[in-house]
């Protein structure tokens, strides 16, 4: 048994330890950030012979397929930047700044992380890349919520964010950031591209019924589709929100037939789209004649990975895409990309892979042209940058909102696919002028880019 005194001596000893530790950490706290600021001109200034990129993609969850394909493309892009492999689209890219010796002579290495398609996990993963691994640039994302969350994190931390898969208007609209750049197209562009094509194919006198994924991307997609179809003279019968990951959509599809609508617009993505489309087709919606017209289904945002999931259900169904590997038929850049991706992995790349690859190349090229990794210099090099030869024809990174402007593809489910990858055919290319909008357009208003932030 211990005496009281015993406890006290022990306490004293440890207390002294506590005070010492406290003093040490106090000194650490008192030493302000000036200490760090002196060490680097900006966040994660690369000091050695290597530079680190952060690839933050969903590796688990509903968008894991897209994430896996993005990761493949990132690895390919790093190889090409470092001068390995066949160079892919670097050979067709209009800028010849990249020499195949890394970026500014530094070899590119990378770290990967799992966003789990959750804003929280994505930010934790991105923060560890920045704080621990010294990543100079973060790219990735397969959901607009995640992309927006990581984009604002990168703004605060002072690194560049090259958004990959994010289709919501908000990413370069009300949530746009100085440090965020988007090559992918958006919901407004999908609507603008699809509206006229649908009116031409299905007539101007149509009644549309929307099923919409109940979250921000769904809302912007629905609003855009509604706006552009109504502009063509269509009528919107109803817009119904469905919970994300519902799995069973039969209770949402049954009322469609009794509503008097003759077109069903599915504002769904990923597994939701696979399920809702498959079930709508199984319900026999497309065999029905309503108002004297054939019933039609539209999926505004397509991806080949989703088409693979939906199988035969996609045949003849319209949608839009950022890029499709079938472009290789008459585009040298796409051909080069499909070739080097196919040789490495044995199947053609998806649009997710394409955007991931292009964004990495664009960042590396901007650094090379700016002659510095300093985020402010890189931003300046990217703003208003016009380029060609990356698979979409001529493209411009608009300075006002960091959105890429280019032609948009309208695609249709292939009636006679020649392989399991040949599921979508390019139906039309809507020229850039038709999908362009002013930066203060009502769908995009309310945000501000803010200032460039070199961090510390």
Interface ranges with other proteins (CB under 8 A): 2, 7, 10-11, 14-15, 17-18, 21-22, 25, 28-29, 31-33, 35-36, 39, 59-60, 64, 75, 109-114, 118-121, 123-125, 127-128, 131-133, 143-145, 148-149, 152-153, 155-157, 170, 175, 214-217, 219, 241, 243-244, 447-448, 450-451, 453
Which sign does the torsion angle of CA 115, 119, 125, 129 carry? positive
CB of 205 to other proteins, least distance (A): 33
Residue 71 or 409 with smaller CB distance to other proteins: 71
The CA-based angle 106-108-111, given to 5 degrees, is: 140
Shortest reach from residue 313's CB to other proteins, in Å: 26
* Least spacing, CB of residue 406 vs other proteins, in Å: 25
Which helix (H) or strand (E) element contains residue 321?
strand 318-321
Q: How do 263-267 and 207-213 pair as beta strands?
A: parallel
Query: Are 266 and 280 spatial neighbours (Cβ–Cβ below 8 Å)?
Result: yes
**Smallest separation (angstroms) from other proteins to the CB of 260:** 27
As a whole number of angstroms, the distance between CA 18 and CA 237 comes to 70
**Structural contact between residues 223 and 443, judged by C-beta atoms closer than 8 angstroms:** yes
Residues 19, 188: Cα–Cα separation, whole Å? 60
Q: How far is the CB of 103 from other proteins (least distance, A)?
A: 18
Q: At what angle do helices 375-382 and 351-370 cross, to 10 degrees?
A: 110
Q: In whole angstroms, give the CA distance from residue 267 to residue 301.
A: 8
Least CB distance from residue 274 to other proteins, whole Å? 19
Half-sphere exposure of 90 (CA within 13 A, CB side): 26
| Shortest distance, position 55 Cβ to other proteins, whole Å | 9
- Complex with other proteins: residue 241 or 429, whichever CB lies closer: 241
Q: Which is nearer to other proteins, 35 or 416 (CB)?
A: 35
Q: Nearer to other proteins by C-beta: 41 or 332?
A: 41
Kindly report the CA angle at 64 between 60 and 68, in degrees rounded to 5?
Answer: 115
CB 325 within 8 A of CB 411: no
Tell me whether residue 168 or residue 326 sits nearer to other proteins (CB atom): 168
Return the closest-CA partner of residue 81 out of 342, 378, 364: 364
Angle at 254 between CA 251 and CA 256, to 5 degrees: 120
User: Residue 85: what are its φ and ψ, rounded to 5°?
Assistant: 70, -165
Q: Where are the alpha helices (DSSP H) in 203-319?
A: 216-231, 250-258, 270-282, 304-310
Residue 404 φ/ψ, nearest 5 degrees: -80, 135
Yes or no: say if 337 and 358 are a contact pair by the CB < 8 Å rule.
no
CB of 36 to other proteins, least distance (A): 6
Closest CB to other proteins among residues 155, 229:
155
CB 212 within 8 A of CB 192: no
* Residue 143 or 328 with smaller CB distance to other proteins: 143
For other proteins, the closer CB: 66 or 114: 114
CA atoms in the 13 A half-sphere facing the CB of 452: 17
Contact 406, 432 (CB under 8 A): yes
Pick the closer one to other proteins by CB: 54 or 413.
54
Between 119 and 326, CB nearer to other proteins: 119
We find the least distance from the C-beta atom of residue 28 to other proteins, in angstroms, to be 4
We find the least distance from the C-beta atom of residue 178 to other proteins, in angstroms, to be 9
């Amino acid at each position: 048994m211990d005496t009281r005194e015993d406890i006290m001596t022990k306490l004293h000893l440890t207390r002294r330890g506590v005070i010492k530790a406290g003093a040490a950490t106090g000194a650490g706290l008192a030493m302000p950030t000036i200490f760090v600021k002196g060490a680097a001109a900006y966040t994660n200034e690369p000091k050695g012979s290597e530079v680190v990129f952060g690839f933050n993609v969903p590796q688990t969850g509903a968008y894991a397929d897209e994430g896996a394909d993005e990761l493949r493309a990132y690895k390919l892009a790093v190889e090409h930047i470092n001068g390995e492999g066949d160079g892919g689209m670097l050979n067709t890219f209009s800028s010849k700044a990249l020499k195949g010796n890394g970026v500014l002579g530094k070899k590119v290495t990378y770290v990967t992380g799992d966003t789990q398609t959750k804003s929280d996990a994505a930010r934790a993963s991105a923060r560890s890349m920045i704080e621990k691994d010294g990543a100079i640039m973060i790219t990735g994302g397969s959901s607009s919520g995640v992309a927006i969350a990581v984009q604002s994190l990168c703004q605060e931390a002072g690194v560049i964010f090259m958004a990959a898969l994010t289709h919501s208007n908000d990413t370069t609209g009300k949530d746009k950031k100085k440090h965020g750049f988007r090559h992918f197209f958006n919901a407004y562009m999908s609507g603008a591209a699809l509206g006229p094509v649908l009116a031409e194919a299905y007539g101007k006198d149509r009644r549309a019924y929307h099923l919409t994924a109940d979250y921000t991307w769904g809302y912007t997609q629905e609003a855009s589709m509604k706006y552009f179809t109504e502009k063509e003279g269509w009528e919107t019968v109803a817009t119904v929100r469905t919970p994300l990951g519902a799995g069973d959509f039969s209770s949402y599809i049954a009322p469609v037939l009794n509503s008097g609508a003759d077109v069903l617009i599915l504002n769904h993505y990923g597994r939701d789209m696979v399920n809702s489309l498959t079930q709508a087709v199984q319900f026999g919606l497309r065999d029905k004649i309503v108002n004297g017209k054939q019933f039609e289904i539209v999926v505004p945002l397509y991806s080949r990975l989703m088409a693979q999931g939906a199988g035969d259900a996609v045949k003849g169904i319209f949608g839009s895409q950022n890029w499709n590997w079938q472009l290789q038929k008459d585009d040298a850049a796409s051909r080069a990309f499909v070739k080097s991706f196919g040789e490495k992995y044995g199947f053609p790349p998806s649009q997710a892979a394409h955007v991931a690859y292009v964004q990495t190349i664009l960042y590396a090229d901007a650094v090379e042209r700016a002659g510095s990794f300093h985020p402010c210099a890189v931003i300046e090099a990217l703003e208003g940058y016009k380029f060609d030869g990356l698979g979409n024809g001529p493209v411009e990174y608009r300075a006002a909102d960091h959105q890429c402007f280019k032609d948009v593809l309208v695609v249709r489910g292939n009636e006679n696919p020649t392989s399991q990858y040949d599921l979508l055919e390019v139906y039309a290319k809507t020229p850039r002028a038709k999908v362009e909008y002013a930066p203060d357009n009502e769908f995009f208003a309310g945000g501000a880019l803010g200032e460039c932030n070199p961090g510390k």
